[in-house]
Amino acid sequence: MDWLQAIILGIIQGLTEFIPISSTGHLYLGRNFFGLEEAGLFLDTMLHLGTLIALVVFYKDILINLVKNPFSRITALLIIGTIPAVITGILFNDYFDSISKTGVTIGWEFLITGVFLWFADSIKKGAKKVDDISLFDSFFIGSFQAFAIFPAISRSGMTIVGALIRKMDKEAAAYFSFLLSIPAICGGIIFQLKDMVSGSVPQISFSSMLIATLSSAIFGYIAVKFMITFVKYRTLKIFAVYVWILGIIIIVLQQLSIF
């Protein structure tokens, strides 16, 4: 992986982790385009570390408060909201790992993501803020997050939709969605590191790895700030149309045995 590829993949991860178009699905496409399939797990881990850094910087005040007050209400919300994804990951990880490596379903998953994003605009506007979220709300939103175990189902898109269904206002929905992704990304990195220990790590230069991680962190931070404002004033349908077009292209290419 050269420097340019590292920067591009970092941009892809950083933007698509929080823009609701599926980072895993886009990374799969990016790695295959550059011929870096064998670097998949290791590269994904470092790129996700970059987006985790972006979240830590963006939510630094909340995270510092959580360290000082570990038994706060926000801590309980994050724990409850993470449970569905943990259970799904433990029970079905091997199956979803196998389909993730082949990419056989990602075209259809992009289409499904688009359906949920299009549906989001038809949800009656709510007024709940983060302080108004109940434990059940958090579990409900976390259940939507669990669907993102499919490679091209957008985690941020699903959790935003789940939050809107529970009558959160759009800005708060995006804010809580990204906050809830912190334990999810941490858990994913730990899970991937465990798998990496038992496997072979591809030979990627330290400089390329560092550039990819920093690129992911920088563009992840930009994407978080952008989406929290964007969701407040704009429609998610533009992203639905994008993933529908992308999904159809992938399915056609797969049928033609080109992809």
Burial of 198 (0-12, 13-18, 19+ CB in 10 A): exposed
pLDDT tens string 121-154: 888 889 999 999 999 999 999 999 999 888 899 9
Please report the pLDDT score of residue 159 as a whole number. 96
- Is the pLDDT assigned to residue 99 strictly greater than 80? no
> With pLDDT > 70 as the criterion, what percentage of the chain qualifies?
92
Min mean pLDDT across 33-42, 64-73, 113-122, 241-250 is at 33-42
CA-closest candidate to residue 55, choices 213, 224, 236? 224
Higher pLDDT: 40 or 57? It is: 57
3-state secondary structure of 99: helix
Higher pLDDT: 24 or 140? It is: 140
d(CA 232, CA 171): 5
d(CA 173, CA 179): 10
d(CA 259, CA 254): 5
Calculate the alpha carbon distances from 101 to 9, 97, 106, 173, 212 in Å: 17, 6, 10, 31, 21
Higher pLDDT: 250 or 37? It is: 250
d(CA 195, CA 236): 35
CA-closest candidate to residue 243, choices 56, 84, 117, 95? 117
d(CA 28, CA 7): 16
Q: How does the average pLDDT of the chain come out, rounded? A: 89
Name residue 106's amino acid: I
Please report the pLDDT score of residue 174 as a whole number. 95
| 146, 84 contact by CB (below 8 A) | yes
Higher pLDDT: 203 or 124? It is: 124
| 180, 141 contact by CB (below 8 A) | yes
Please report the pLDDT score of residue 38 as a whole number. 62
Task: Classify each residue of 43-74 as buried b or exposed e, where b means 16 or more C-beta atoms within 10 Å of its C-beta.
Answer: bbbbbbbbbbbbbeebbeebbeebeeeeeeeb
pLDDT tens string 168-195: 999 999 999 999 999 989 987 887 776 6
Higher pLDDT: 96 or 118? It is: 118
pLDDT tens string 228-242: 999 988 999 999 999
Min mean pLDDT across 37-51, 146-160, 165-179 is at 37-51
Token reading at 9: 């993949």
